[in-house]
Amino acid sequence: MNNSLVSIIIPTYNRAHLIGETLDSILKQTYTNWECIVVDDGSSDTTDELLNEYTNKDSRIHYHHRPHRHLPGGNGARNYGLSSAKGDYVIFFDSDDLMTKDHVKIKVSAIKNSKFDYVVAKTKFIDELDTYIEPRYKKLQAFGFSAKKYLLQEINWLTYDACIKTSLAKSIQFNEELKSGQEFNYFSKLILQTTNAFFVDIYVTLRRKHDHSISSAKKSRVKNLQSAFISCILTYEDIQNLADLEERKALLFRCIDMIYKNKDIDFPYQKKLQRAIRKEFGFFSVVIFKLMVITNANFDKGYTFRKLIQQKSGIDNAASA
């Protein structure tokens, strides 16, 4: 099993005070045939000096700066790291979290023994379970891998939960226009390509709790929902050649439902959404959508129009709840 090279890709930005522990957890892996590609996104702290120490300590660690041909942000750094990967399998990781010592071994064993295209394992906070993601793992275990259920976010996992065949991982790009919701965009494209995957019911990643954690930062409710909406509508554009009509409608209904349930929020890209609704549902559905928005905002009575669009999308009540 140790013959397969695993590429661990880590974007980083001003994490000199944290990434050392992350790299130490990788150096302690019981599976030893790996390369760790760290891509800096323009740090202004002591990341350069620290990473030079680690690259001198272990030749399996490679340090790069994101080239200008990739947009600033973690997505551009991940895409560059992915293009540099030489392994048979890819694991995306964050510069502020930790691997358990068998992280790589468990994933590679699962993906190789059953010839899956990718596997998904579990993550928890260092001292406790994550009450947000844990229920999604239970649903993934119950439902299995379904593109439609992922698009509706009935099943979910985190970026660093996956281990993916490199040939498959490289066939997909992170959308560099997105500042958040990038994992939803990437894994939507992944699961639409193949559901030949396996869930590993073992915790192999430990999340940190700290004020500046990339994955646990507390954003405002408005910003979170706007980011989720942007990710959904841009993902819809990205999956045109991958998803069937039912899957595309499911994703658009998720966008519509966000607007319905959060009438106090000014969502961007609504003209883009209306064009998509017209394409997938027909012109009359655009009228229904506008009536939903108007009646919901002024009279709190948009439910009937939402229900009409829901019926056209083929989404049942349980899925949209």
pLDDT, tens digit (0-9, with 9 covering 90-100), for 21-32: 999 999 999 999
Rounded-to-integer distance, Cα 100 and Cα 29, Å: 8
* Mean model confidence pLDDT for the chain: 91
Report which of 234, 229, 227, 292 is spatially closest to residue 263, judged by C-alpha positions: 292
Alpha helices in the chain (DSSP H): 19-27, 47-57, 74-84, 103-113, 134-143, 147-151, 166-169, 182-193, 221-238, 245-261, 270-281, 283-299, 303-313, 317-320
Q: Please, what are the domains in the chain?
A: 6-207 (3.90.550.10), 221-320 (no CATH)
Angle (deg, nearest 10), helices 221-238 and 270-281? 40
> What digits encode the pLDDT tens for the residues 187-243?
999 999 999 999 999 999 998 875 544 444 445 788 889 999 999 999 999 999 999
CB burial of residue 213 (10 Å; 0-12, 13-18, 19+):
middle
Separation between Cα atoms, residue 123 and residue 100, nearest integer Å = 10
Tens of pLDDT along 290-310? 999 999 988 888 899 999 998
